Amino acid sequence: MDFLGAAYGQGVFIICGTGGIVRRSTDGLVFNNTPAGFASENVTFARFFNNTFVVGSTLGTLAYSVNAGANYSTTDVTGSLTDACFVGGLWVVSGDAGLIRTSPDLSTWTTRTSEFGASNINALATSGSIAISAGAGGVMASSADGVTWTIVPDSSFSGTAINDIAFGLGRWVAVGATGKVATSLDGIAWSQSASPFGSSDINSAVFFDGLWIICGDGGKVAFSLDGLAWELLTDSGMGSEDANALAIGLSRILIAGNADTAVSHSVLYENREINLNIDPQVMLDISGNTRTFDMTQKWRSMGKTGEYNKRVIWRRLGQHRSFTPRIRISSPVKRAVYTAYAKIVGSK
C-alpha cells in the first residue's frame, strides 16, 4: 500500500492512499483506519478547506467530512480525481483528461472548460482570491472564481509535468518532474529556482506559518523560509521510499509515501534538523491614502540567530494623509515586536 495524499485541519491529520485507504490521527504519530466510502480504488488526495476535509479517488468518488474526519459523506463527481480547492465560494475539483468541475455544496457538480484539453491536471492551489491549476506538459491556468480559466502563458516548466503548488506570504511555489521548482508573485509570471533535488521528481509542496516544505522521490524532503532558498533535511525518515504527500500541523511535519511509510517530525519550530540559522527576512507593507496595502517594500534581512544588533530601517516612504504599517516575517520561529518608531516630518 502507498500513501498518496495528506492534509491537516481541525486538530487532526488525514492520510489516504491505494486500496481505498483513509486514516486519521490526532497527534501525527498513531493513525487509525476511517471508513470514508471508498472501495478498492486509489484515494489520490486529501485537502482541508472551508472547515471541511475532502478526499478524492480515481473512480470519481469524493468523500467529505465537517467533523474533523471522524466520519464522511460521499458524492459522485465522475472522472479520475487528482485534487481540490475552494475559491470564489465554490468547490473545485480537478482530474485526468483536463477535468475541472465546480460545486457550491459538494453535491451538485458542473463541468467547466479547463483549457487543458486532454492533458491531465495534477494540482490545484488557491491564494484565497485566485486559483491555479497545473499539470502535464507544464501547463498552468488561473481563475478568480473556479468557473472561467485562462492559460498562464509561460509556467517556466518547458513541457515538464507540474505535480503540486503551494501559496504563502504572497508567493506561489510550483514543483514537478526532474526536480524543477518555480516561483511567482502573481501566479502568472513564473521563474525557475535552484532545486535541492537534482533530477529527482518533486511530488508535493505545502506552506504553513512561514515554512515551505517539498518532498519527492527517494524520500527527499527540503524546506525553505522564503520559497527561494532550499535546504534538504539530513534524514527525512523515509529511507529510499518515495515521499508523495505532506501536511503540517500541531508543530509537526507529516511525510507520507510509498510502501505504507508515513513519518512525522517535530521540525516546525524546534527540531535541530531544520537549520533556523537561515537568514530570516522582514517586509513592510503600507496602507496610505488609498486605504489598501498597496505600497509593498522589499524583503530585508532581519538578522540570523544571535545577531541582536541587527536593525532594519525603511526611509522615504512618501507623503500620506493616513499611514498604516503591516510587518511580515519569513520565519517559523517565535517572534515579538516590542516597539516601533517612526519619524514623521511635516511639509513646510
- What percentage of the chain carries pLDDT values higher than 90? 68
| Cα(11)–Cα(56) distance, integer angstroms | 21
pLDDT: which is higher, 20 or 223: 20
Range from 32-41, 48-57, 152-161, 313-322 carrying the lowest mean pLDDT: 313-322
What tens digit of pLDDT does each residue of 252-261 get? Answer: 889 999 998 9
Q: Name all contacts of 15-21 with Cβ < 8 Å and 24+ positions apart.
A: 15/46, 15/245, 15/247, 15/254, 15/256, 15/262, 16/43, 16/44, 16/45, 16/46, 16/55, 17/42, 17/43, 17/256, 18/42, 18/43, 20/57
According to the model, what pLDDT value does residue 265 have? 76
Domain coordinates in residue numbering, the chain:
3-265, 276-348
Residues with Cβ within 8 Å of residue 24, at least 6 apart in sequence: 12, 13, 14, 31, 32, 34, 69, 70
Range from 48-52, 94-98, 303-307 carrying the lowest mean pLDDT: 303-307
Task: Indicate if the pLDDT at residue 20 is higher than 90.
Answer: yes
Task: Indicate if the pLDDT at residue 271 is higher than 50.
Answer: no
Domain 3-265: what homologous superfamily? Answer: YVTN repeat-like/Quinoprotein amine dehydrogenase (2.130.10.10)
Mean predicted confidence (pLDDT) in 140-168:
97
Mean predicted confidence (pLDDT) in 137-142:
98
Residues with Cβ within 8 Å of residue 57, at least 6 apart in sequence: 20, 38, 41, 42, 43, 44, 81
Task: Indicate if the pLDDT at residue 276 is higher than 50.
Answer: no
Quickly state the pLDDT bin for 330 (edges 50, 70, 90): low
**What's this model's pTM, rounded to 2 decimal places?**
0.78
Q: What is the mean pLDDT of the chain?
A: 88
Mean predicted confidence (pLDDT) in 207-216:
89
Please report the DSSP string for 75-123 in residue order: EE--S-EEEEEEETTEEEEEEGGG-EEEESSSSS-EE---S-TTSPEEE
According to the model, what pLDDT value does residue 269 have? 37
